[in-house]
Amino acid sequence: MTMNPELRQVSNGFEHRVKSFSCYDVNGYRFHTTRHEQSRPNRKTTNSGVFTGGLDGVEFYGKIEEIYELRFRGRKPLNLVVFKCHWLDPQETRRNPSLGLVEIRQDSVYGGKDVYIVAQQATQVYYLSYACQRDPLLQGWDIVHKVSPHGKAPTPNAEDYNFDTSTYDGEFYQVEGLEGTFEIDLTGAMEMEVDNEIHVDEDDGDVVENAKDLELLEQLSSGNGSGDIVASLESVEHLDLADSDDESYDPDNPDGDDYF
């Protein structure tokens, strides 16, 4: 039985000296690490939220902590980008199918060790807390919003066009408002700028020194544990990123010669 040469190269493991990114474009999204977002106190967007589907229909929501580019040993250039994520506990999730509403607790923590995913497995989300935190049913819960990929509109729903409020027999959902009133100052609204700044902050190859990170990366390299890197690679359509149209972009290196 013959083995795919690319999988054989993956089985040899990757170099411990990896590239780290604070920003990465993939799947029609621009992802940031939480550390990068925290360094920009006046940011107008949030791009660190991530979602991926697990086994048995379990949905995992979290935030990206680190972005690594793995370089597998061999004659052929073969690189792979993985996200190290802080995952929230999927058991601390509330769903209301009739409203299409998903809520999750931001103070929960997933207890598993499989914190890495391949970049191509990531879908972007953002979290929105309830304005009213006095209600014990809402306190500590965030609403999850899935983001549509850039340039792709959400799939139309027939109910969006055939909705008659006079005949609708379902329930309308409205969170109780806050007490009092307030005024919106629109004087500076026209001066607001959308945060379209392209900022990629990477180095020439940080050495991963954290013992836990090294242990998890070794498990990825050897194919042990639930985060089996070989199984993940088989699910990626374009394994050889050197010959594919990678979606990452570095304004300081538009040709990408240093990366792939």
> Whole-number mean pLDDT of the chain?
75
pLDDT confidence of 236, banded at 50, 70, 90?
A: very low
The 10s digit of each residue's pLDDT in 29-38 is 999 999 999 9
The 10s digit of each residue's pLDDT in 138-196 is 888 999 999 989 877 666 666 555 556 666 666 655 556 666 666 766 665 555 444 44
Got the DSSP string for 106-133? TT-----S--EEEGGG-EEEEEEE-S--
The pLDDT value given to residue 164: 63
State phi, psi for 206 to the nearest 5 degrees: -75, 145
Question: What mean pLDDT comes out for the span 67-90?
Answer: 90
The pLDDT value given to residue 131: 86
The pLDDT value given to residue 187: 63
Using alpha carbons, list the distances in angstroms from residue 35 to 3, 12, 143, 196, 222: 40, 32, 22, 19, 29
The pLDDT value given to residue 39: 92
Q: Find how far residue 111's CA is from the centre of its chain.
A: 19
Query: Does this model's pTM top 0.75?
Result: no
- The first and second tokens of residue 236, run together, are 């990626």
The pLDDT value given to residue 240: 40
Question: What mean pLDDT comes out for the span 80-105?
Answer: 90
Q: pLDDT at residue 241 above 60?
A: no
The pLDDT value given to residue 224: 57
The pLDDT value given to residue 171: 62
The pLDDT value given to residue 36: 94
Q: Sketch the domain layout of the chain as residue ranges.
A: 5-148+170-234
Task: Return the amino acid letter for 87.
Answer: W
Q: pLDDT at residue 46 above 50?
A: yes
Q: pLDDT at residue 6 above 80?
A: yes
Using alpha carbons, list the distances in angstroms from residue 219 to 54, 114, 216: 18, 10, 5
pLDDT confidence of 199, banded at 50, 70, 90?
A: very low
Tell me which residue of 122, 124, 120 sits closest to 233, measured CA to CA. Answer: 120
Q: What percent of the chain has pLDDT over 90?
A: 32
The pLDDT value given to residue 243: 39
Measured distance CA(154)–CA(123) in Å, rounded: 14
pLDDT confidence of 132, banded at 50, 70, 90?
A: confident
The pLDDT value given to residue 44: 84
